[in-house]
Amino acid sequence: MLAALAAAVPSVHAQTLAWRRVGNTSLVAGQASVAGGPVERVWFAPSGRLLAGLPGGRVYREDGRGGWALAPEASPPLAATEIAGEPEAGVRILAVDPVRYAGGRHVWRSDDGGATWKNLTAWEGGSLLGGAVRDLAADPGNPERIAAATDSGVWLSQDGGRSWAGLNEGLPSLPVRRILAAPAGSRGVRIAVERGGRLEEFEWYPGQRLGWFPAVDGVVEREAAVRRRWEMELGVPITAVAREGGALWLGGADGRLLASSDEGRTWRSFQPQGAGQVLRIWTDGEDRNVALAALAGGAEGAPRLLRTLNGGAWWDDLSAGLPPGNVYSVAADRETGAIYAATEAGLYWTIGDLRNPSPATPWQPAGEGLPRAPVRDVRLDDGGLTLLAAVEGHGVFAAPAPHRRRAPRLVHSADLSARPAAPGALMTLVGARAASASAGGRPAPVLDSGEEQSQIQLPFELTGASVAVLLETGAQRLSFGLALAPASPAILVDHEGTPMVLDADTGAPVELMNPARPGMTLQILMSGLGRVEPSWPAGLPAPQENPPAVAAPVRVWLGAVPLDVRRATLAPGYVGFYLVEAELPALLDEGIHELSVEAGGVRSNSVRIYAVP
């Protein structure tokens, strides 16, 4: 029953500072295949293998395995120079005897020397290829095999344009510009992608592998509306906006910074000499007088990263030591003073001061292991545990935030949250290596220990409303006072928010490619369900036969619908994990459902599962 469990369990306790990719570089944008970002050129090698030229001069070739590989030695041939007004204005003609192709807003074909044309890509008022055609190419050995480079990637036709397939999986052309939200609850990472000259929002749904799906949160639209309003009222071009605790912050195209504590009735203005446009403003959720601003490169020596501690009356220059060029974005952790800068030259960080006036501190690279490309945005997750970076073309990457070494935290291992502890719960120390641990004066087994994270299990015998957890790291002794509850359930999720929910019959994860079905029995891997009967020692794998059962009453919910719970026990063969089995109803609506587990009247985190009737 649990044959696939070992492969499915995420290593939440073994994460390191090594960067890992979040999602991929493909967009699910309503086309026949997944889309990508702008591609400038396409051409075929004599062997018939396709090559693609991306903005900035990067060249990739098909790797023969359905993906792409960097081809730095390759250079595109001269582009076709014949421009015509038919079949549409400004099309580029590709002549491949006896056929002529034309590329503009669409791809066209003529079999009579251009006397008549057939539109090959018209679809529902737009183009099948999702954007303007930037380049066309034909296979020298087969004029029916043609490729198009468009605003949304590379597209290939094997039959002279009658049908098209995208070749965008693995091609690093995603023009991600913003990280709008980190994973939280059942929500995945949300980003803003530049498409057709405007920003569109997408989300990486936990549990699927296809691509980024359109999101409707409206962050970009709301910010644009605020910019338009204040441009009209103030008469200056606004390029950045932020709100925090009633404070409003605006950044201008001329480097001007405006701050208001009364919803725009009065303003403080600051304009550094020679500064470029303001690209992003970070605000402190604890103190509305604190903000950081990221600026484009301006005059030589002009500031590109500024800090204010007094509500915008004065801004300090923190950019000394950063490489030349734009600073696209900034993020910070007030507790430790850590500041992260997304720049044209990569990702950098420093430990500064976000409480008191102080000189600029030295910057150091933080992007070792990231692709060598500009970093367009940087963000910390809601708990300040994970650092997210948006790399031009390559998508989103995440790593444990290095500033946590200065201020380690103890959180639930299941989803790295700060909910109350519970007897038997798995806890993760983020930012340090634990050598030994105790909780409530009892030994707490250290299950795994790494440089960035260590995992412990709390004793099952804990009682009371709180517990003191002591950890020895070798260099220091850490003490955490945690709220304690009889049960504090949490469904196990991986670093992208993908839940560990399995099909009991096959052991396969329940996800977009393996959706839930009516009557299916789900296996839900959890932590924090509290005491078990008979009692069981912490740190010892549960028995394969007759594992101890959860003492608290357990209920499972699919939205507002209670499910039939078959059993709730320790997970056989595993340390600290619980296994809850529940049966889905005979009637099940298609789509996304919210799944949660209740133990002793306490609800767990909600996770998404995909279902088909």
pLDDT 10s digits, 248-306:
999 999 999 999 999 899 999 999 999 999 999 999 988 999 999 999 999 999 999 99
Please count the structural domains in the chain.
3
- The tokens describing 509, both together, are 């994860």
Running DSSP on this structure, what letter comes out for residue 542? B
Residue-level pLDDT at 15: 33
Q: Which of 508, 502, 493, 474 lies closest to 428 in space, CA to CA?
A: 493
Residue where one domain finishes, among candidates 144, 166, 188? 166
- Cα torsion 241, 243, 249, 252 to 10°: value is 0
Mean pLDDT, residues 507-520: 91
In contact, 390 and 176? CB cutoff 8 Å: yes
Mean pLDDT, residues 237-246: 92
Identify whether 372 is part of a domain.
yes
Please report, as a single letter, which amino acid is at residue 540: L
Q: Which of 259, 301, 266 lies closest to 284 in space, CA to CA?
A: 259
Distances from the Cα of 219 to the Cαs of 44, 216, 242, 363, 441, in angstroms?
41, 8, 11, 31, 48
Order of strands, sheet of 375-380, starting from the edge strand that comes earlier in the sequence: 20-22, 395-400, 386-391, 375-380
Give kind and range of the element (H or E) at residue 225: helix 219-234
Residues 160 and 188 in one domain: no
In contact, 106 and 120? CB cutoff 8 Å: yes
Residues 272 and 372 in one domain: yes
Burial of 123 (0-12, 13-18, 19+ CB in 10 A): middle
As a whole number of Å, the end-to-end CA separation of the chain is 24
d(CA 232, CA 273): 24
Residue 197 neighbours by CB under 8 Å, 6+ apart? none
Give kind and range of the element (H or E) at residue 234: helix 219-234
- The tokens describing 305, both together, are 């990263």
What range defines the domain where residue 31 resides?
26-166
Residues 140 and 285 in one domain: no
Alpha-helical runs (H) found in 67-166: none
d(CA 182, CA 385): 11
In the chain, the percentage of residues whose pLDDT exceeds 90 is: 80
Residue-level pLDDT at 81: 65
Report residue 517: phi and psi, to 5°: -130, 155
Identify whether 426 is part of a domain.
no
Residues 388 and 502 in one domain: no
Give the SS3 label for residue 224: helix
Q: Which of 550, 438, 423 lies closest to 483 in space, CA to CA?
A: 423
In contact, 77 and 93? CB cutoff 8 Å: no
Q: What is the pLDDT of residues 556-578, one digit of tens each?
A: 999 999 999 999 999 999 999 99
Identify whether 581 is part of a domain.
yes
Residues 157 and 245 in one domain: no
Residue-level pLDDT at 126: 86
∠ CA 214-241-364, nearest 5°, is 90
Mean pLDDT, residues 8-17: 34
Running DSSP on this structure, what letter comes out for residue 123? E
Residues 129 and 188 in one domain: no
d(CA 378, CA 366): 11
Identify whether 420 is part of a domain.
no
Residues 181 and 157 in one domain: no
Residues 198 and 326 in one domain: yes
Residue where one domain finishes, among candidates 148, 166, 184? 166
3-state class percentages of the chain: helix first, strand second, coil last, to nearest 5: 5, 45, 50
Confidence grade of residue 196 (pLDDT, cut at 50, 70, 90): confident
* Residue 64 pLDDT greater than 80, yes or no: yes
CATH number, position 522:
2.60.40.10
∠ CA 330-334-337, nearest 5°, is 80
d(CA 329, CA 281): 8
Identify whether 78 is part of a domain.
yes
Identify whether 555 is part of a domain.
yes
Kindly report the average pLDDT of the chain as a whole number. Answer: 92
Residues 158 and 182 in one domain: no
No. of helices (H) and no. of strands (E), the chain: 2, 54
Residues 37 and 97 in one domain: yes
* Residue 527 pLDDT greater than 70, yes or no: yes
Residue where one domain finishes, among candidates 330, 365, 397? 397
In contact, 396 and 22? CB cutoff 8 Å: yes
Identify whether 472 is part of a domain.
no
Confidence grade of residue 80 (pLDDT, cut at 50, 70, 90): low
Q: What is the pLDDT of residues 464-502, one digit of tens each?
A: 999 999 999 987 899 999 999 999 999 999 877 789 999
Give the SS3 label for residue 227: helix
Residues 160 and 202 in one domain: no
Give the SS3 label for residue 449: strand
d(CA 530, CA 563): 21
Residues 153 and 198 in one domain: no
Identify whether 9 is part of a domain.
no
